[in-house]
Amino acid sequence: MSRETLPYMTDEQIHQVAFVYRSKKGCIKVANLLDYKNYDGNPEWEHLASLDSHRWIECLLRSSQKQQREQIRTILK
- Please classify residue 36 by burial: count the beta carbons closer than 10 Å to its beta carbon, then call 0-12 exposed, 13-18 middle and 19+ buried: buried
| Counts of helices then strands in the chain (DSSP H, E) | 3, 3
Give me the pLDDT at residue 54, please: 86
Task: Return the pLDDT at 4.
Answer: 58
**Cα distances (Å, whole numbers) of residue 30 to 8, 37, 40, 76:** 23, 12, 12, 12
Can you give the pLDDT of all 77 residues of the chain as single tens digits?
555 556 667 777 777 889 999 999 999 999 988 898 899 999 999 999 999 888 889 999 999 999 999 999 999 88
Quote the pLDDT of residue 11: 72
pLDDT of 5 reads 58
Contact by Cβ (8 Å): 65, 30: no
Per-residue pLDDT at 25: 94
Burial classification of residue 62, based on how many CB atoms lie within 10 Å of its CB (0-12 exposed, 13-18 middle, 19 or more buried): exposed
